[in-house]
Amino acid sequence: MKLQDSEIERIFQDYDRDGYARVGRIAGEETLRELRDRIDAIMLGEVTYPELFFQRDADSGSYDDLTYGKGWEGPTLRYRKVEKLERDPLFLSWIENPIFEAIAKHAYDGDPIAIYRALVFNKAAATGGSDLPFHQDGGTFWGLDREPKLQIWTALDDAPLDGGCLEFVPGSHKKGLATPLGGVVPKNKLEEADAEAHIVREPAVAGEVMLVHNHVWHRSGRSTTGLPRRALTVCFLSGHTKCLRKKRAPRVFFPVFQPR
């Protein structure tokens, strides 16, 4: 499946205006089944890669109670996120589909494209996952010489209004970063913008794809459906981007959409 140039232009009109845009239901049932089975197998330790990054949900469901740096803690479907999924051939095949390629090349004006991160965010069926507060994906914490501006989000499960759907403050990306560090938007900034009065909730069905600008204020709540809510998020950046970190060797970003 491919998008016509006119369709891409329409999608980017919404994206430029709001900081996010719906692409449509792209993933079919077979693809969804394979990706869901694979991420479950990875969380259960049945499929392993040495570079994968794991973070388990807090028992409380509170973002403030999350722990860091523990990695894989044994087989469980309660991991909040699994990162470096570009290392898995099945996920990479989906990430490199022609629609994503056309969108990424449009966003970066024909630059070579690389991945900053490819991860599944999971809200486990048993617990409903964690609240994710309003945040921006960028800033000095990311350690880059330029800000990325494109994330492509694929719903692997339904994400209804009560099931951890994405929530946005439309247009909030136009003001840039709320803080130089990036990440969680401070309470005073949310109050100044009257963010709660401007929230738009975007439920999705499994297979739907959305574009998310790195600087748009976005969040997701806990799921109350009793069903898993898994979604793949891929942050694409210009292949010319450099890592600025000093304490460890600079990161080398994974190139995509090129012959291997």
CB atoms within 10 A of CB 102: 17
Query: From CA 79, how far away is CA 257, in angstroms rounded?
Result: 29
Query: From CA 118, how far away is CA 155, in angstroms rounded?
Result: 14
Topology given in CATH for the domain delimited by 5-244: Jelly Rolls (2.60.120)
Q: At a CB cut-off of 8 Å and minimum separation 6, what does 148 contact? A: 116, 137, 138, 142, 214, 235, 236, 237, 238, 241
Question: Does an H or E element contain 155, and which?
Answer: strand 150-155
Which DSSP state fits 70? -
Do residues 39 and 18 make contact, with C-beta atoms less than 8 angstroms apart?
A: no
Query: From CA 242, how far away is CA 233, in angstroms rounded?
Result: 21
Query: From CA 73, how far away is CA 70, in angstroms rounded?
Result: 7
Which pLDDT value is given to residue 221?
A: 95
The pTM assigned to this predicted structure is 0.96
Query: From CA 18, how far away is CA 7, in angstroms rounded?
Result: 17
Q: What is the mean pLDDT of each run of 10 residues along the chain (260 residues)?
A: 88 98 97 98 96 91 84 94 97 97 95 98 94 96 96 98 97 97 97 97 98 98 96 98 90 90
CB atoms within 10 A of CB 205: 11
Query: From CA 219, how far away is CA 215, in angstroms rounded?
Result: 12
Domain residue spans of the chain:
5-244
Cα separations in angstroms, 116 against 30, 207, 247: 27, 22, 19
- Roughly what angle, to the nearest 10 degrees, separates helices 98-107 and 5-18? 60
Which pLDDT value is given to residue 260?
A: 64
Of 214, 208, 184, 236, nearest in space to 15 by CA? 214
Which pLDDT value is given to residue 249?
A: 84
Query: For residue 187, with 0-12 CB atoms within 10 Å meaning exposed, 13-18 middle and 19 or more buried, which class applies?
Result: exposed
Of 44, 45, 33, 51, nearest in space to 88 by CA? 51
